[in-house]
A and B are shown apart, each in its own frame.
Chain A
Amino acid sequence: MRDANESRAIQIEELTAGFGSFTAVRQVSLRIPPNKITAIIGPSGSGKSTLVRCLNRLHEEVRGAWMQGRVRLGGHDIFATDVDPVQLRRRVGMVFQRPNPFPTMSVAENVVAGLRLNRWGRPAGLDDRIEESLRRAALWEQVKDKLHVSGASLSGGQQQRLCIARALAVEPDVLLMDEPCSALDPVATFKIEELMKELAEDITIVIVTHNMQQAARVSDYTAFLMMGEDRAGELVEFGPTDRIFTNPSDKRTEDYITGRFG
């Protein structure tokens, strides 16, 4: 059991990444424990998004982007030359800031979009997977009668849970969430936070958030990033969320979480 979990742990070693001549994050090292929720907090521009986008190598899809250092998923270096980012992204799913279902696909087609990639034809057992994924995303009851309407016709909160179901359908080991609730109302936000806690039983979750209350509510571990003198984001402190919020060891962390800046 312990070994199975370890395959979902992420070890970040001296990660430096940026665009062109701009460095977005510098020398970040931390270990994201498996089957836990790790929050990444920090002021705007501290490189939170760049950091998580390195974990599924989506960062490198942006023109002019570069990255150095090492990221290990279950002990394997994901920056190694023989690693196919396409295969990596099937193990490391992602949910974005703005809900982005595919508007030309139905709810059901959205869920299985990832399963129909890298292959010809229609794989077997899709219908079961649709229900299972929607149930895991706590969306099944609301959409079971409208599986064939456009994914874009759902409400904002439902769209975001549809995106979570779509990411879960591929059965990833890790789910990255880049400010998943910032476009949602408090009720929808609450539902997604509840969902995250359930999902963490099976997968590792990394959530970027602006909202410190959210980090305190849902996460087991918290990493605090801040930009240094040349605007490059650096890791200030990482530890169990309880300790970061009650007894931070760095003065800057304390200033940030007590609202003195940012």
Chain B
Amino acid sequence: MIRQLSRPHRNRGDRIFQGWTWLMAATVLALIGLLLYELVLGALPAISRFGFGFLTGQTWNPVSGQFGALPAIYGTVVSSLLALAIAGPVGLLAAIYLAEFAPPWLDGPLSFLIELLATIPSVVFGLWGLYVLVPVLRSPIETTLHNTLGFLPLLGCTPLGLGMLAAVAILALMILPYVTAVARDMLRAVPDDQREAMLALGATRWEMAWKAVVPYARSGIVGGMMLALGRAVGETMAVTMLIGNRPEISACLFSPSYTLASQIANEFTEATTDMYVSVLIELGLILFAVTLILNGIARLLVWRVRSKS
């Protein structure tokens, strides 16, 4: 009787299942490892040629063989963070409205439309940006800003339409549905007793949402924003069409700029020498690292907020 109970291979099905899931998990890890290995291998010629100077170099001249990645790194980080700075608050407020205030007949269609926004192909956003957004940005928005507040370096250069601001605007629009949908789901998952506790203390509905519901869901909301930031960092097509594609660092919002993803996409077909190809692969490696670092910072942030409470 005791021997039967302790016989280990009675759980053979369990072990097969466990082994199978382990294998699948390991495959994912192996794929990431392989990807990283290939990137490093491809980038090795560029790395050994330019070293750390590649990360800080600002010149990009394929003809003379001078390559620096800083403008693209700068453009990637700045465009993504600015996009999140716009889409984050707007998305959160929209989510609060959907989860706490919208009547049922409005909530359904509105949620559907927002999710629909997330399924629009990037190239369509790009086209819309080129033909609708850019002309409006150039005049009146950028021209007015330049004429009234042009003494600020941020708004000091010639309004072109195409440039950092256009890329930021389109990125904000593209990540908005992610921020909104995730935040809305997180807010909905907050137990009703939290809402009632705040209402019973004499809170208005807005105070209830802001002081009880949002704090309860905050780590999930920040997580959703990080997901959106990750998407903004890697977004290629729409940004390539709108950012102006000039590898320059400028404090001015209107000036043409570049991102890692759009530089790779734009120049891959032109990369005629092995070194040029290797340089672009190294840009890919840097993009990988930027994503990881931003994610790491975000996790640290969430973790600090959690451990403080």
A contact residues vs B (CB 8 Å cutoff)? 56, 58, 61, 63, 86-87, 89-90, 93-94, 96, 98, 100-106, 113-114, 116-118, 150, 163, 166-167, 170
Find chain A residues with CB under 8 A from B202 CB: 86-87, 89-90, 114, 117-118, 170
The docked-state distance in angstroms from the alpha carbon of A93 to that of B204 is 15
Knowing that A58-B200, A100-B194 touch, tell me 14 more A-B residue pairs with CB under 8 angstroms: A86-B202, A89-B201, A100-B193, A100-B196, A102-B197, A102-B215, A104-B216, A113-B198, A114-B201, A117-B201, A117-B211, A150-B309, A166-B197, A166-B201
B203 at the interface (CB under 8 A from A): yes
Find chain B residues with CB under 8 A from A94 CB: 196, 200
Chain B CB count within 10 A is highest, among A89, A93, A96, A104, for A104
21 chain-A/chain-B pairs, Cβ below 8 angstroms: A61-B196, A61-B199, A87-B202, A89-B199, A94-B200, A96-B193, A100-B194, A100-B197, A101-B197, A102-B197, A102-B216, A104-B309, A105-B215, A113-B211, A114-B201, A114-B202, A116-B211, A117-B202, A117-B207, A166-B197, A170-B202
Binary CB contact string for chain B from 208 to 230 against chain A (1 if under 8 A, 0 otherwise): 00011001101000000000000
Chain B min CB distance to A65 (Å)? 13
Closest 6 CB pairs of A and B: A114-B201, A90-B202, A94-B200, A104-B215, A100-B193, A89-B202
B contact residues vs A (CB 8 Å cutoff)? 104, 191, 193-204, 207, 211-212, 215-216, 218, 309
The docked-state distance in angstroms from the alpha carbon of A86 to that of B204 is 6
Chain A min CB distance to B288 (Å)? 34
Contact A105–B197 (Cβ < 8 Å): no
The docked-state distance in angstroms from the alpha carbon of A116 to that of B201 is 10
Find chain B residues with CB under 8 A from A58 CB: 196, 199-200
Closest chain A residue to B194, Cβ basis: A100
The docked-state distance in angstroms from the alpha carbon of A86 to that of B218 is 25
The docked-state distance in angstroms from the alpha carbon of A105 to that of B197 is 13
Chain B min CB distance to A20 (Å)? 13
Chain B interface helix/strand/loop/mixed: helix
Find chain B residues with CB under 8 A from A170 CB: 201-202
Find chain A residues with CB under 8 A from B211 CB: 113, 116-117
Chain A CB count within 10 A is highest, among B191, B194, B212, B309, for B309
Closest chain B residue to A169, Cβ basis: B201
Contact B203–A104 (Cβ < 8 Å): no
Find chain B residues with CB under 8 A from A116 CB: 211
Chain A min CB distance to B176 (Å)? 26
Find chain B residues with CB under 8 A from A114 CB: 201-203
CB contact between B216 and one of A56, A63, A103, A167 (< 8 Å): that residue: A103
Find chain A residues with CB under 8 A from B196 CB: 58, 61, 94, 96, 100
The docked-state distance in angstroms from the alpha carbon of A100 to that of B192 is 10
Contact A167–B194 (Cβ < 8 Å): no
Q: Provided the pairs A103-B309, A117-B207 are in contact, do residues A89 and B200 lie with their beta carbons within 8 angstroms?
A: yes
Contact A105–B309 (Cβ < 8 Å): yes
The docked-state distance in angstroms from the alpha carbon of A113 to that of B191 is 18
The docked-state distance in angstroms from the alpha carbon of A113 to that of B104 is 30
The docked-state distance in angstroms from the alpha carbon of A102 to that of B214 is 11
Find chain A residues with CB under 8 A from B194 CB: 100, 102
Find chain A residues with CB under 8 A from B195 CB: 61
Find chain A residues with CB under 8 A from B104 CB: 63
Find chain B residues with CB under 8 A from A56 CB: 200
Chain B min CB distance to A181 (Å)? 16
Chain A min CB distance to B104 (Å)? 8
Find chain A residues with CB under 8 A from B309 CB: 103-106, 150
Find chain A residues with CB under 8 A from B204 CB: 86, 117-118
Find chain B residues with CB under 8 A from A101 CB: 197
Closest chain A residue to B195, Cβ basis: A61
Chain A min CB distance to B118 (Å)? 28
Chain A CB count within 10 A is highest, among B195, B202, B203, B218, for B202
Find chain B residues with CB under 8 A from A166 CB: 197, 201
Find chain B residues with CB under 8 A from A86 CB: 202-204
Chain B min CB distance to A99 (Å)? 9
